[in-house]
Amino acid sequence: MSFKNTSDWLSYDKEHLWHPYTSMTNPLPTYPVESAHGVKLKLADGRELIDGMSSWWAAIHGYNHPVLNAALEQQIHSVSHVMFGGLTHLPAVTLAEKLVNMTAEPLQHVFFADSGSVTVEVAIKMAIQYWYAQGQTKKQKLLTVRNGYHGDTLGGMSVCDPVNGMHIMFQGVLPEHFFASAPDCFADGTTNINTLQRQLQQHQSEIAAVILEPLVQGAGGMRFYCSEYLQQLRIICDEYDVLLIFDEIATGFGRTGTLFAYEQADVVPDILCLGKALTGGYLTLATTMTSKKVVQGISADGSGILMHGPTFMANPLACQVANASIDLLLSSSWEMNIRQIESQLQKELSVCQELPIVKEVRVKGAIGVVELKEPVNMKTMQADFVEQGVWIRPFNKLVYIMPPYIIKQNELMLLTTSIYKVLVNYKPQP
């Protein structure tokens, strides 16, 4: 190793490594992680931070879990990777069986990809091929809602919120799709589904599918909405004959209080994207699941060939750690844990509502959001949280947490009290 000490490799990082959504010429500070155990990240200087982010929704069992470690160690001695073209292996088949059994009955077919964004690409291709094979070659557009987030590849980006997703910068490159208002639910039990329905009415002949995140819009705004919206959406998708894609990459595997958010609406999509917590945050793996109807539609022209096949598709290490993570989840008292996290978040974050800089506090399952009136200075607020001994990464107007499900009451309390302390002392920059 050519680095003499931590500050030496940190300056190399600053000089050479691009971090997510940052500038190389004016980089934000990065904190060096030495190790992680349970819900704690240990920095190189010995400080320990309680993790409020689960590494972007993924590390639901915490870090360095002995069961997940053992699954990987065992698999590495058998086969770490093998191409999936023409070959198969038990870790992938076992995982497919688990996923088919734990999701809604119509979702019988599993395509493994290497990241959430890629599963969205695959979902879009499935929907377009479904109509193409049936001679409906004009149905190539997607309909989605504002404030959505579906990944950073061009196809995924094209269905992200056009403002948050900076579509203007990629105009002419991004495919142009249709957008309806972000889902809203009103006190009288009605919703604003009519804006989406209007788009369907106008563009039905061009629309292959509707895609959205059920119940919780994540990185596009951390917005929550009601299950009635999804019920109405399913009805109108059937009425106008378009497919329905749910992106549960963030919400899947218990985060909202049910294994999958769609269960709360009792609505089944035609295509489902899963990722993030699939491997308990250990390795990158994601999946696009679909129904017999879609598979048969894609095969209607006699070929049925789905045009996708990544090199690391169904990586055996990733599949095996996913198998262990799902077993761990299902054998734990995850529902109770999420309910406890939810009620603690509701109780302890509500004080933030009184702060003049706060617009709204909202909680759903193991997700707590404090929305501010103005965007925050991420650099200074990030440092304030580290000072408090917690890892919380705010963005734009949002300070939010989605901790590992194993978090203890006192650890969660440190997260919530830190949010209050940091916000009460926060001085918005002019």
Ligand X SMILES: Cc1ncc(COP(=O)(O)O)c(C=O)c1O
Which residues here bind ligand X, judged by CB under 6 A?
56, 115-117, 120, 149-151, 213, 218-219, 247, 249-250, 275
Q: How far is the CB of 214 from ligand X (least distance, A)?
A: 10
Using the minimum distance from each CB to ligand X, give the nearer residue, 233 or 422: 233
**How many other CB atoms are found less than 10 A from the CB of residue 201?**
12
Using the minimum distance from each CB to ligand X, give the nearer residue, 229 or 426: 229
Which residue is nearest to ligand X, using beta carbons?
Answer: 116
- 8 A C-beta contact, residue 208 and residue 139: yes
DSSP bridge pairs for 42 = 35, 48
Using the minimum distance from each CB to ligand X, give the nearer residue, 114 or 270: 114
User: Which two tokens mark 369?
Assistant: 């959001």
- 8 A C-beta contact, residue 363 and residue 350: no
- 8 A C-beta contact, residue 229 and residue 246: no
CA–CA distance, 225 with 385 (Å, rounded to integer)? 29
Using the minimum distance from each CB to ligand X, give the nearer residue, 117 or 291: 117
Residue whose structure tokens are 């909680």: 363
Q: How far apart are the first and last CA of the chain?
A: 44
How far, in whole angstroms, is CA 57 from its chain's centroid? 7
Residues 6+ apart with CB under 8 A from 92: 84, 112, 314, 316, 319
User: Which two tokens mark 6?
Assistant: 């931590």
- What are the two backbone dihedrals, phi and then psi, of residue 123, each rounded to the nearest 5 degrees? -60, -45
Using the minimum distance from each CB to ligand X, give the nearer residue, 148 or 297: 148
- What are the two backbone dihedrals, phi and then psi, of residue 38, each rounded to the nearest 5 degrees? 55, -125
Q: How far is the CB of 191 from ligand X (least distance, A)?
A: 20
Active site residue ranges: 21, 149, 247, 276
User: Which two tokens mark 138?
Assistant: 């004009």
Q: How far is the CB of 87 from ligand X (least distance, A)?
A: 25
Q: How far is the CB of 317 from ligand X (least distance, A)?
A: 17
The C-alpha angle 270, 274, 275, rounded to 5 degrees, equals: 165
Q: How far is the CB of 112 from ligand X (least distance, A)?
A: 13
Using the minimum distance from each CB to ligand X, give the nearer residue, 116 or 394: 116
Q: How far is the CB of 275 from ligand X (least distance, A)?
A: 5
